[in-house]
């Protein structure tokens, strides 16, 4: 386990806070990184009296990345912890009730009901649906907090947007940083379930990366993979398949490039092994997307058939119910002229005029 980074949140040294924040980010101590980088950005804005000064681009980028990492970390922890905590609390309540009451089952039910009420209260407070929570939300709204307070992902998007604007102004010299920021913006939108925006930002970042790096770049391979995930989440299966396959091609090109270098160092061999370990997972993604596509087509076809059957007019049903040998409904009625030989002869005479 990596050691936590100690951050002095009262420090007035913006450069030192930036260094601490970057170190914490790479050590995946996102909470410490957010504290350090939030403070650093606050100090830098005050120093330059401008929230879009070019020196703020780096701190904004790492601040946004750290907020994204923290949001993912908290979601994963919440998903894992909630069921386990509920089970443990149920067991504890069961033990306590059996010791305090002769009627064990009745006590367990009573304690379980209390536990449910507590959990519901806690949930209501978190979601702002309970009476007390509503009051407290109303009070805090007056102070400009509560419902109006942005989430980590919203703040991440805002600071990354500021970084993007700064890098765009800096021009070609900041192309690499701009591409990186666009891809992270896409990831933030993906986490926020804004899929079109996620895909658009990632595609823009990818196009810049393809111009900067070769056809064996792991950076491009990673972005293609992230784009594939965005497409798959948005049920764009063909695009997802293409993106995952492009990611595979870049990784295979990387292996080929590494193997061509002689002599092969241990570091090169390790990288080849690492990439070879990634390839099966991406191939499985491609297979999954193909299965999802086939299943989606099947469901659409079944739905269309069902709609067609239910929408068929009554007359159509009677027309199609005739025996196959009965073709009377297909034969046109004879014209009256065909019943009169003289009229028929006259009709066949060519006009000489």
3-state secondary structure of 353: coil
Question: How far apart, in whole angstroms, are the C-alpha atoms of residue 208 and residue 287?
Answer: 29
What are the start-end ranges of the E strands in 260-324? none
> In which residue are the tokens 């770049």 written?
217
Sketch the domain layout of the chain as residue ranges.
13-81+152-174, 213-297
Question: How far apart, in whole angstroms, are the C-alpha atoms of residue 321 and residue 47?
Answer: 85
What phi and psi, each to the nearest 5 degrees, are found at residue 51? -85, 0
CATH class of 13-81+152-174: mainly alpha
Question: How far apart, in whole angstroms, are the C-alpha atoms of residue 339 and residue 129?
Answer: 85
Kindly tell me the number of DSSP H helices and DSSP E strands found in the chain: 13, 0
pLDDT for res 2: 55
Q: Do the domains at 13-81+152-174 and 213-297 have one common CATH topology?
A: no
pTM greater than 0.75 (yes/no): no
pLDDT for res 132: 40
Radius of gyration of the chain measured on its C-alpha atoms:
34
For residue 102, what is the DSSP state? Answer: S
**pLDDT < 70 regions, the chain:** 1-4, 78-147, 312-353
Tens-digit pLDDT profile for residues 72-129: 999 887 654 443 343 444 444 444 444 444 444 444 454 544 455 544 544 444 344 4
Q: Crossing angle for the helix pair 175-191 and 195-212, nearest 10 degrees? A: 160
pLDDT for res 181: 97
pLDDT for res 54: 94
Q: Crossing angle for the helix pair 14-26 and 30-48, nearest 10 degrees? A: 150
Which of 57, 59, 44, 47 minimizes the C-alpha distance to 166? Answer: 57
| Residue 188 contacts residue 230 (beta carbons within 8 Å) | no
CATH code reported for the domain at 213-297: 1.20.58
Can you say how many angstroms the Cα of residue 262 is from the centroid of all Cα atoms in its chain? 41
Contacts of 110 (CB under 8 A, 6+ apart): 97
Question: How far apart, in whole angstroms, are the C-alpha atoms of residue 116 and residue 125?
Answer: 14
């Amino acid at each position: 386990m990596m050691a936590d980074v100690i951050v002095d949140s009262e420090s007035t040294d913006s450069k030192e806070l930036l260094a601490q924040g970057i170190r914490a980010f790479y050590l995946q101590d996102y909470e410490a990184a957010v504290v350090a980088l939030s403070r650093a950005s606050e100090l830098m804005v005050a120093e330059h009296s401008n929230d879009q000064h070019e020196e703020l681009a780096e701190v904004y980028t790492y601040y946004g990345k750290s907020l994204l990492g923290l949001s993912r970390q908290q979601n994963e922890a919440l998903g894992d912890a909630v069921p386990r905590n509920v089970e443990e609390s149920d067991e504890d309540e069961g033990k306590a009730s059996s010791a305090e009451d002769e009627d064990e089952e009745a006590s367990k039910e009573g304690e379980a009901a209390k536990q449910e009420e507590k959990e519901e209260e806690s949930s209501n407070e978190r979601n702002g649906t309970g009476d007390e929570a509503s009051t407290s939300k109303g009070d805090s709204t007056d102070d400009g907090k509560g419902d109006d307070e942005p989430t980590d992902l919203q703040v991440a998007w805002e600071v990354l947007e500021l970084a993007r604007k700064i890098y765009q102004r800096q021009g070609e010299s900041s192309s690499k940083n701009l591409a990186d920021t666009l891809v992270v913006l896409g990831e933030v939108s993906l986490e926020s379930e804004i899929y079109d925006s996620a895909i658009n930002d990632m595609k823009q970042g990818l196009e810049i990366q393809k111009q900067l790096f070769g056809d064996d770049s792991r950076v491009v391979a990673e972005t293609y993979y992230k784009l594939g995930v965005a497409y798959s989440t948005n049920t764009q299966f063909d695009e997802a398949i293409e993106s995952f396959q492009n990611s595979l091609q870049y990784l295979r090109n990387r292996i080929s490039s590494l193997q061509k270098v002689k002599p092969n160092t241990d570091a090169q061999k390790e990288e080849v092994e690492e990439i070879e370990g990634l390839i099966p997972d991406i191939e499985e993604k491609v297979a999954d997307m193909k299965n999802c596509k086939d299943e989606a087509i099947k469901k659409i076809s079944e739905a269309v058939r069902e709609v067609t059957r239910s929408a068929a007019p009554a007359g159509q049903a009677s027309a199609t119910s005739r025996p196959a040998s009965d073709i009377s409904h297909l034969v046109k009625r004879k014209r009256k002229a065909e019943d009169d030989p003289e009229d028929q002869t006259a009709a066949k005479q060519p006009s000489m005029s």
